[in-house]
Amino acid sequence: MMRFTVILGLAGVLACSGCSTPTDPNVAIAAGQYPDAFEATRESLRELNLTLDRVDAASGVITTAMKPSSGFATPWDLEQSGADQEWEDFINRQRRFVRVEFVPAGEETPVAKRDPAAAKAAPNVDLRDYAGPVVATVSVTVERVQRPGWRVNTKSINQSTFTRDPELAAAGKFPTYTVELEPDRRLAGRIARDIQRKLENRPSDAEPGPATEAPAPSEPQSAQPAPADPGATGRSADESAPAGNG
């Protein structure tokens, strides 16, 4: 009975560990802040130890490579948002892929797809030359790696086995496939909040500098009479003197 109570309490803690985490994946970016937001996104993804895959400032897309994690067995991983996710990553082979897309405000954000054809069909708008407001949307895809041929033992799960292909085994190859799970909205919300926080802490170029006093206007100098030019009349001093009687 005591063991059942402990297991039930642990299950409740795992289920509610991430219930209060905000999951808004959108970031509103003011006009002229797109370069700062793009750089802040790169910093946020690097701080989570995620490897950047595609960094396209012109199209407004940043993606990461698939990152596996073992949950409780890899405590240095930072992508889990609760004990329930730590447990799921521990008992399953799971990996995550992050995509951040920037679009002009008011336009519809396309669904994140790893499809080159869909990327080519997207409109070519160079956001580096766009001066209006932008919206960034973060999406996190979770995949679970499965191995086919699982033979479940009816007496003990630990005695279950897998089918084996001798030719593939001789070549050191074991078939696997991936199943896409529901998006990790909690991690997407964390990344979006971190981007917003970095934008708020960045100094703005439009902030005025320290006020400086204007120099006092100089007083106009009084006009001084110009010295008389003895040659201004065109006559010398000797010529101007009256001639004596001879």
Q: Among all chains, which residue has been given the structure tokens 């995949």?
A: 143
Which residues touch 238 (CB under 8 Å, ≥6 apart)?
Answer: none
Say how far apart CA 61 and CA 64 lie, in whole Å: 10
- pLDDT for the residue 227: 57
Q: How are beta strands 94-104 and 67-69 bridged, if at all?
A: antiparallel
Nearest to 85 by CA among 6, 158, 168, 19: 19
- Domain map (residue ranges) of the chain: 18-145+178-201
- pLDDT for the residue 138: 96
Q: How far is CA 90 from the centre of its chain?
A: 28
- pLDDT for the residue 59: 93
3-state secondary structure of 143: strand
> Length of the chain in residues, anyone?
246
Residues 134/144, Cβ–Cβ less than 8 Å:
no
Q: How are beta strands 52-56 and 61-64 bridged, if at all?
A: antiparallel
Answer whether residue 53 shows pLDDT above 90.
yes
Model confidence at 176, in pLDDT bands (50, 70, 90)?
confident
CA distances from 141 to 100, 188, 233, 237 (A): 11, 10, 100, 106
Answer whether residue 246 shows pLDDT above 90.
no
- pLDDT for the residue 5: 41
Residue 90, both tokens: 């521990």
Please determine, looking at this structure, whether the domain spanning 18-145+178-201 carries the CATH number 3.30.530.50: yes
Say how far apart CA 129 and CA 166 lie, in whole Å: 58
Q: Taking each helix axis as running N to C, give the angle between helix 185-201 and helix 34-47, from 0 to 180 degrees, rounded to the nearest 10.
A: 130
Answer whether residue 39 shows pLDDT above 60.
yes
DSSP string, 145-197: EE-S-EE--SS-GGG-EE---HHHHHTT----EEEE----HHHHHHHHHHHHH
CB neighbourhood size of 177 (10 A): 10
Answer whether residue 233 shows pLDDT above 90.
no
